[in-house]
Every structure is written in structure tokens, then in C-alpha cells.
Amino acid sequence: MAERGAIAFEPKVEFPDNAFEAARMYLALMAYPELGEGQPGERGCRLTEAFWEYYMWNWRRVRGLREVRAALAAPRFNTPRQRRFEGAVERGRRRIMRRFAAFDIVGSQMVSAMFNANDIAYRMKSAGEDPFERSHTGGHATLRTDIWQRAMPSARRIIRNNLPGWSESFDLKESVVPADPIQKERDLVARGFVQSRPVIHMVHGINQILEDHEKDLYALGDADWLLVLLWNCEIWIWEAIEHAERWRILSGWTRMPMIAPDLMVELVSPKMCAKLPTATPESDLP
């Protein structure tokens, strides 16, 4: 039986070697991970075009049309009107923010699981049971998989604990009667969390580069964060892809029932240089 809310998505996406094109593609994929959305005429492809139009429109607004035409060596070039792209950009923005909300659920699950697992392990040790397991190579001891899974709250439980807050974070149009909290929980899991899962690792990529390049990316103050990323694509895009792909692979180690490498898009960068971890934890343990 298919998981409620699960979507078909492209299992592997290869990025172009142009940073601006790759950055627009990265953001559009976060917004529209559904299979086929990156094809010409579809929403993901249209969003990459809208990002270009938004970028050019702001360039003219800040520096003037003369500079834009000179830079493009196109004396007759005219920037698009705002109404041409603003709807697509705002819809894309809301969908990207939904991915960040889904990532926050994973973080909440992990934090809760660590506290719960420690409590379970303490009680087991007090009763004379061993809560740890060791690899066949005799490596590091880790908490038994069954304990970790018992300690891990479901995405639905996390949402249930703060239904108003998660409803606001996911910003979904109502598809159920608002007064029905049980159905709303299911809806947020299916349409919010599960549909975000194929690109949830890409949120980690963005979070990491924001931390690594805070000085550069926050220097523009109150500027729209989408524009900041587009203006500074060379700074972050290749690192973001690498961080995201590493997180996708490492997700196979977490033993979280709703997260696994094959449930997310594999990202292929022409600039990938670091050695990524393998899918088998034991081979990378120190």
C-alpha cells in the first residue's frame, strides 16, 4: 500500500556547470520535486525562468537599465514586468519554506529520540540488560536499532504536539474541515512532510552554507533571501549540493523509519570534489 502523500520524483538530478543556472535549478527543485516538473512548460522549469526575470528586474531597479544593457551587450534589452514573474516566485517561495518546516520536524524527531533513548537505555542497564549492539568487525558500540526506533516519535506525533504552529509553518491550503484536528494532522504529514521528503536534504545544504558563509550572505541586511542567494550563487551552490548529498547518504545511518537515501533525489554536481561517505556505516567508522 502506497504511503499517503508520497510523490514520484526524479531519482537523480545532474546540475549544469554554470553557477547561476545551477542555483536556480537547485531552488526550483526544492519547490517542485515532483517527477516531470523540470520539463519545459512545467512549474519547476517556469520557476527557474521566473528567478531569472526576478533577478534581472531587480538589477535594473538597483543599477538602471543602461548598466543591464551594457553588461548583456544587448542595447535593446528590456527587463520583464513584475507581474510576469511575481506569482511564480511567490508560489515557489512558499513551497521552499514548506521544505524548511519539514526539515524542522526531522530535527524535532532527532532531539526527542536522543532524550527518550537515553532514558530507555538507563532503565535497561538498571535491569541488567545491554542496550547496545556492536558491529561484526568489533567497532564502536551503538544503541540497538529497536531502542532507537521505540524512542523516535513519529512525524505525526511531533505535529500533534503543536498543531497550530506546524499548520502555520507549512502554510497549506485547507483540504479538510479546520475543526477536525485528526484529519488535519494526517494532511500535514502527507502534504507537508512526506511531499517535502525527496528534497529535504537540500534544506540541510542551504542551512549549512548560511552558517559557513554568514558574513557574505547576511551582509545585505533586509534584502530578499532569494535574491541574496541568486546574487551570490558562486559562493554557495557547489557547497550546498555537496552538503545535501552527504546528508542524503548519511540518512541511511539514522534508522529513522521515514528517512532513507532512496527516498530523496540524488544530486550530481560537476564540481563535486570531496569524498562522500558510503551507504554502509561500518566502512566509515573511525
Of 280, 245, 254, nearest in space to 110 by CA = 254
Three-state DSSP at 236 gives helix
Burial group, residue 128, by CB count within 10 angstroms (0-12, 13-18, 19+): exposed
Phi, psi of 142 (to 5 degrees): -125, 160
What pLDDT score was predicted for residue 220?
60
pLDDT (0 to 100) of residue 91:
95
Confidence of residue 273 (pLDDT cuts 50, 70, 90): low
Query: 159, 188 in Cβ contact below 8 A?
Result: yes
**What is the mean predicted confidence (pLDDT) over 132-147?**
69
Q: What is the pLDDT of residues 59-76, one digit of tens each?
A: 999 889 999 999 989 999
At 282 the pLDDT is 44
Give the per-residue pLDDT at 275: 63
> How buried is 236 (Cβ within 10 angstroms: 0-12 exposed, 13-18 middle, 19+ buried)?
buried
Q: Which of 91, 83, 21, 77 is nearest to 49 (CA)?
A: 21
Q: Which of 271, 266, 272 is nearest to 245 (CA)?
A: 266
- Are 217 and 210 contacting, i.e. CB atoms less than 8 angstroms apart? yes
| Backbone phi, psi, residue 266, to 5° | -80, 130
User: Can you give the pLDDT at residue 271?
Assistant: 83
In the block, residue with C-alpha cell 485547507: 174
Band of pLDDT at residue 167, cut at 50, 70 and 90: confident
Mean pLDDT across 112-123: 77
Q: How far apart are the first and last CA of the chain?
A: 40
The mean pLDDT value of the chain amounts to 85
Mean pLDDT of 191-215: 92
pLDDT digits (tens, 9 = 90+) for 156-166: 888 888 888 88
